[in-house]
Structure 1
Amino acid sequence: MPTTKAAAVPVAVCLAVLMLMACGAPAQAAEGLGLEGASLPLRWGIPFVGMLLSIAVIPLLAGHFWHHHYGKVALFWALAFLVPFVASFGAGLAVYEVGHAALLEYIPFIILLFSLFTISGGILLTGNLKGSPAVNTSLLAIGTVLASIIGTTGASMVLIRPLLRANDERRHNVHTVVFFIFLVSNIGGSLTPLGDPPLFLGFLKGVDFFWTMQHLFHDTALIAVLLLAVFYLLDRYFYAREEGLPHKADPTPETERLGLRGLRNLPLLAGVIGAILMSALWQPGIEFDILGTHVPLPSIMRDVALLGLAAISIWITPAFIRERNGFDWEPIREVAKLFAAIFLTIIPVIAILKAGANGALAPLVALVTDEAGGPVNAGYFWMTGLLSGFLDNAPTYLVFFNLAGGDAQELMTKYAVTLEAISAGAVFMGALTYIGNAPNFMVLAIAKSRGVPMPSFFGYMAWSGLFLLPCFALLTWLYFL
């Protein structure tokens, strides 16, 4: 696939420019308290909205242009935020904010995705697995369970290729990927801090490791059972329609036996989980000041370990396994470029949201508090969820976690339902859009690279609105009102 050097990762380009501009800036500018969201008008969110609309609209209206120039579009919106920001607040604050977003959010995010993408690409399910309704439903159920053990990203990267290969002779297979995103890439990750980044942040804030399993199991089981049942019926309908269509050749040999190749990558997946847990549990108190941002030693060690595990996977995996998996680097390149711009342009939006009642989004924040000052649990569920569908669900979780008091012990006991609502909203409603959770876009990119005609940004939202919103409404009525 043609790529252009001009479409380089926007964060790297912008960081280099800003560092040069900041050479003459006062030292304290880069070490300030950060952006004050209470003073920001909503117009600072225009680049972020523009980036989202570009992802949603341009592939639909100008697919060829987007295919070759999405990196340039991402760079345009990144600069549309950075240039006015530097002019308004100075290079020092810009370096601090961009460095903070890059060092603590974007770089760890893309390294984790890269390592899981690389390692999972070295695991091959062989054999002519037929994508019948029973097989597909079983794969989704297994992935839903795995998501809380190896994370939504890990489960998605491990199972999306087997699911695509099982259905490669079917003409109606879009719904299998859509429900895979619903269940494996999002809802299944709600039972442990390993499942999804918001819950991992809650764990770091003091929420007990097994608290989410105890309090979100009934929510997760209800939604998962409903969606799996609906999927099975829907898949039976589409499977029956295949009989009247011209035969499509199955690229998988009929005589090949079921098996698993690339088993040497399984310990590497375990290593990824171990590196993540190490970064949370090992707290030596050592930090490095980089561009005014304090980066803990465990975080650095985790990222180095993840890159090392990915390198080992590349080294030990035979080339034919990746070839059989249809593995190429374009999906991770696309995610890296687009999410670099998203993480950059989202900076003022998150700052405004963090300002709470003092920010421009105060009317939204008011929806989670009643007249007596107590929490509105349904409001926490829907506000955390809807914003998580379009913003990064990890900082959104933290915002509402702090709005609810920020005391983990109190939230786990006195306000347990409130914390349940925040946790469920952040994890479940990441499935509402392609950008709601990290693996969503990865699954989309892999499916498209394998020839699956995935729905557009708004087309996917039609699927999620039709199948997810009624489930979330039922959940609200049963547990949060």
Structure 2
Amino acid sequence: MRRLPWALSLLLFSAAPAFAAEGLDGKTLGLAWAIPFLGMLLSIAVMPLVAGRFWHHNRGKVAAFWALLALIPIALGHGIGTASQAVVHTAFLEYIPFILLLLALFTVAGGIVIRGNLKGAPGLNTILLAIGAGLASIIGTTGAAMIMIRPVMRANDDRKRNVHVIVFFIFLVANAGGALTPLGDPPLFLGFLRGVDFFWPTVHLFWPAALIIGALLAGFYALDSHIYAKDGHKWLDPTPPREISISGGINFLLIPAIIGVILLSATVEWGEVTIHGTHVAVASLCRDAAFVAIVALSLFFTPATSRSENSFSWEPISEVAELFAGIFITIIPVLAMLQAGTEGAFAPLVALVQGPGGAPDNLAYFWITGGLSSFLDNAPTYLVFFELAGGDPQRLMTEGATTLAAISAGAVFMGANTYIGNAPNFMVYAIARDGGVKMPGFFGYMLWSSVILLPLFAVVSIVFFAG
């Protein structure tokens, strides 16, 4: 938590008295302006794998480096006012709401404990994965993964082969299950902050999600049944028998409170305030304050022993806060160029996702968004293609609904293709590895995802986004 104020200050450091700001004109910016953003994303993708120790101790400095590399040219070329106004706009309309929602879900989920030792037979394992996938759209993929990963590991710690259980856990709980609400996955919450209705993903992603989740659960049951019949429970169970119980106290009430706060903030009109040239709705500020209050209530009323049983740590949310501060700053000039459309530096990218007559190519939106989300973080990738599709939420939710669904589905579902596509993936990998599961390496996991997920995505793209 000590690093969260640093992340906020990084976003707000240039919020000094404003000079005349005319904003960034994306038509005048060249591809070099995207270097900080690409550098930031490549650092996230590569450095944990090739320089893990350095990254762990210096990721905040790396994020600050790329952020300054983006902001200093804006300040020098377009004025300090333009740079500071852009940062404040990003902070209050996107970064702060985004990180506070994740913080609230992370804290509340960390106070819910599932105790006991289940026996990981195929039927029970499938039920546990289905429960986790269902929770993911309610408390987020990170929250659901935190709550469910240790019960699933305990249930299967006497299995001779259990790697497939964790791999499917990542597919279902850490990714596909979060497709139905803005609470589920960070890309969808960014869409909500941009004006997409709360229940829009529920309606428009329900059938693609049902197809993927249903197929994965059926495939898992078949595979687990085969392995179970061949291996059975041949090892001594290292977890002593214990009655199943669930505790969480006030946290069970705080989850619906988070949902209620978000829905209320999207429906009420309490006016707005202007902060350094940025118009911020009072309802949004109240929502963010409510998130802080929910965190405080969870921390105050949850016994420390409950979080200890969950091996709760602030490290994951601290990492997200630091890295997304850098991402949200470096993406500022990229979004300006995307808003320029065919008149900007990203005109070739625009051409890739456009069909005859300038109509959107929804198959291309699905696969390109998803492909990049596999190796970069899916939240900023979603933002890039949201802007590429026009950035107007009202038009995208109506006449552009298929395009927005393709972007959303690509970002959410294909984040499962690698360990680095979605934040919970690597968390689950680390927890399972530390718990004795012989998890596959980066490319070994990609072999699993390529064989199992890519054919599913091909079916989804043909059924829902072709034509």
TM-score by length of 2: 0.85
C-alpha distance in 2 between matches for 1:73 and 1:37: 26
Give the drift of 1:461. Answer: 4.8
Structure 2 residue 117 is matched with structure 1 residue 128: yes
Q: Which residue matches 2:274?
A: 289
C-alpha distance in 2 between matches for 1:40 and 1:242: 60
- Show structure 2 runs of 5+ residues with no match: none
Give the drift of 1:350. Answer: 2.6
Q: Which residue matches 1:181?
A: 170
Q: Which residue matches 2:63?
A: 74
1:212–1:61 distance in 2 versus 1, CA, 3 Å: closer
Contact 2:386 2:404 in 1 (8 A): no
Pick the aligned partner of 1:269 from 255, 269, 293.
255
Contact 1:106 1:343 in 2 (8 A): yes
Note the alpha carbon deviations across 1:190-236, whole angstroms, 9 max, x for none. 33455445556666888776664454333222211222233334545
Q: Which residue matches 2:30?
A: 41
C-alpha distance in 1 between matches for 2:404 and 2:438: 38
Q: Which residue matches 2:307?
A: 322
Q: Which residue matches 1:232?
A: 221
C-alpha distance in 2 between matches for 1:424 and 1:170: 34
Give the drift of 1:312. Answer: 0.9
Note the alpha carbon deviations across 1:311-344, whole angstroms, 9 max, x for none. 1111111121111111122222222222222222
Contact 1:397 1:426 in 2 (8 A): no
C-alpha distance in 1 between matches for 2:200 and 2:9: 42
Give the drift of 1:55. Answer: 2.5
Contact 2:175 2:416 in 1 (8 A): yes
Q: Which residue matches 1:28?
A: 20
Q: Which letter maps to 2:463?
A: L
Q: Which residue matches 2:42?
A: 53
C-alpha distance in 2 between matches for 1:361 and 1:8: 33
SS at 2:111 equivalent: coil
C-alpha distance in 1 between matches for 2:437 and 2:41: 22
Give the drift of 1:266. Answer: 0.2
C-alpha distance in 1 between matches for 2:303 and 2:48: 35
C-alpha distance in 2 between matches for 1:272 and 1:446: 27
Query: Aligned residues: percent identity?
Result: 54
Contact 1:133 1:236 in 2 (8 A): yes
Contact 1:335 1:441 in 2 (8 A): no
Note the alpha carbon deviations across 1:282-338, whole angstroms, 9 max, x for none. 222x11222222221111111111111111111111121111111122222222222
Structure 2 residue 339 is matched with structure 1 residue 354: yes
SS at 1:402 equivalent: coil
Contact 2:195 2:394 in 1 (8 A): no
Pick the aligned partner of 1:301 from 286, 294, 316.
286
Note the alpha carbon deviations across 1:239-294, whole angstroms, 9 max, x for none. 6787799x5763x432x20011123310011111111111112222x112222222
Q: Which letter maps to 2:462?
A: W
Contact 2:129 2:173 in 1 (8 A): yes
Contact 2:114 2:147 in 1 (8 A): no
Contact 2:185 2:412 in 1 (8 A): yes
Q: Which letter maps to 1:38?
A: K
SS at 2:357 equivalent: coil
1:8–1:141 distance in 2 versus 1, CA, 3 Å: closer
Aligned residues: 463
